[in-house]
Amino acid sequence: MSREEHGDPLPLRIASLVHAHFNALPAKSKPHILSDGSKEWIPMTGIVAMLSDGILNFSYRSGAKCLSASQIPRCRGLVLHDCHAEILAIRAFNHWLMTECHSILAEEAAGETNPATGSPNPSESKFIRKRDHHVTCEGQCPPFEMQPNVRIYMYCTCAPCGDGSMELCMAAQEDATPWEVVRQNNSGTENSLGDDNLLDGRAHFSLLGVVRRKPARTDAESTRSKSCSDKLALRQVSSLLSWQTSRLLALTENAYLAGLILPEDEISRVACDRAFGKNGRMAALVAQSWPSSSCERSVEYRFRPFQVLSVPAGKVRAMWQFAKPKPTTIRQLADGEMAANGVTPRKSKPGNVSAVWTLAPSNTDKVLLPEKGSKSLPSLCGSKTGLYESIISGVKQGNKASSPTARGASALSRAKMWALLEKITDCEPSGEAEQKTAISSGLSSRSPLGQPRRPAIYDFIKRGPTDEGDSRAARKHAIRHAQEVLKGWAPNTGDESWGLDVLIDTHKRKR
C-alpha cells in the first residue's frame, strides 16, 4: 500500500497490516475461547520492512513462553529457549533475510551467464542487494547488504517485558508504591547485582535500569532468558542481524530498528527513555563506536536509539481481541453484569500455542519452502508464505521439548538456522569463490587437504576467534561493551556443545 492509497499514519498502517495477516491465519494458530466465554490471551509482534515507495514485507510472532534454566542443556540446538513474541519475531525476520539471500544466489546459479563478465546475471530483490565487488575486500566482507530505502519497524500489542514496562507493572498493582528489596550475601552485607542476582521480571520495582530475566509463574523454576527490553536494547548496538545473517549481510545503518510501535496505553515514556533512550541506561555508549570492517563503505557498530511510536488504544482494541485483560477490566467484570447473574468470570490465561509466519522470498520458484505448513497456507491477504509454524514449548506442535528431535525442531532453532547458513554457502556460484570463503569461514567440517576433521561445534562457530579486520570481531566487541553497560547481564549457557549431526534423524518414521 502506498501513501496515496492510504491516509493513515505510518504506525497505524503497520499495525493494521500485521493484524490483517494474523486474522487470516487458520483457527489452530489462534488462542481458544474458554468454556465460560473468556479468551486465552497472547502478545503479538510483527516486524515490517518498509520501502520508501510504501511496499511492506513482514514476519510476525505470537507467544510468551521461555525455558527454565535446567532445560537448556537438553536442547542440543533443537529447542527454542525464548518464545516471547519480540524475540522470535527477530529470529523470524533473520530467517527471512537468509532465505532472501538464498533465493538470489539460487537464481543466479540457475540463470544465464553474462557474456561480458562471465558471471551469472544478477538477481533482484527489493529488500537486499549484492555488494559491489570492489568493496568486498577480496572475500573478507559479507556479499550482501540491505537496500538503502528499507526501514525496519517492530509492532507489539503490549510493551516489552523488563525495564521498558516497569512503570506499567507498578501501575497494575493495587499498591503501586515500589518496595525496597536488598539481597545479602553469606557475610550478611549487601550484595551487588551479579550473575546470581538476575532480577525477576515482575519484582524489585525499586531497582530500575537493570537487566531482568523473563517473568514466569511464581511457582515455576526461574529462567535465565533476559527480558525483551534488555534484548532490544542490545540490538540497538548489534543491529537486528543475527550472527548467521551478519555473515551474509554487511552492517548498514538501516539494519537497525527504526521504530518500536506500541498501543498508546502500553507506553510509559519514562520507562522507554530509561530503557532505550540516549539519556537512559545506555548513555555510556553514545560516544563509542566499533568499525564493522576495513571495507570502503564500512558502517560502524554504535548505539542507535529507535523511535517509540504509538497507535491509538481504541484502534488496537478494535483489531485485537486476544489482549491480556487489564486489571481494571477484570474487576469491572467481577462487579458487573456477570456477577449480577451469579456467574463468576474465569481468570483468563495465556495461550500455549505460538504462530510464526514470514513472507516468501522474492524468487520462490528457485528456493524450496522449508516447512510443511507452507504448502497448506499459500497466501495471507495476498502475501505468499515463506515460513509457517505452530510452536509449543520451543518445538513444533506435536513434538516434545523433553526429547527433542530434528523433525520437531523449528526452522528458527539454533541448529536449523546454522544448517540454513551452510545451505546458502553451498549455493554460492563457483564464479564467486571469494564470497563463498567469506560466508563459510569457520563452517567447513573438512581440512584444506580434504581430510575429515573434528566436526564443528556451535559455540566455536558462533563465538570462535576472529581476525581484527573481520566484521565479526567488531560485532563481538560491540556486544561485549553493551552487555557491560547493561548492568547484571548473565549468559544463558548450556546449549552450545553440539554440531550439525543433531539434525540427522535416527528415528524411523511410522508408515
Amino acid present at 174: E
Which value, to the nearest 10 degrees, does the dihedral of the CA atoms of residues 457, 492, 88, 238 take? -80
- Distances from the Cα of 43 to the Cα of 88, 260, 352, 443, angstroms: 12, 15, 11, 36
Given the residues 86, 107, 432, 496, the one annotated as active site: 86
Q: Buried b vs exposed e over 220-259: b needs ≥16 C-beta within 10 Å?
A: eeebbbbbbbbbbbbbbbbbbbbbbbbbbbbbbebbbbbb
Closest by CA to 16, choosing from 46, 53, 55, is: 46
Residue 96: its H or E element: helix 85-110
Half-sphere exposure of 498 (CA within 13 A, CB side): 22
The question of whether 253 is a catalytic residue gets the answer no
Query: Which grid coordinates are listed for 112?
Result: 544465464
Q: Buried b vs exposed e over 197-217: b needs ≥16 C-beta within 10 Å?
A: bbbebbebbebbebbbbbbbe
- The answer to whether the Cα torsion of 200, 481, 85, 162 is positive or negative is positive
- Residue 462 backbone phi and psi in degrees, to 5: -80, -40
Closest by CA to 331, choosing from 491, 124, 174, is: 174
Query: What's 368-418 look like in SS3?
Result: CCCCHHHHHCCEECCEEEEEEEEEECCEECCCCCCCCCCCCCCCCCHHHHH
End-to-end CA distance of the chain: 47
Q: Are 303 and 237 in contact (CB under 8 A)?
A: yes
- The answer for residues whose C-beta is within 8 angstroms of residue 186's C-beta and 6 or more apart is none
Query: Which grid coordinates are listed for 279?
Result: 539519556
- Give catalytic residue positions: 86
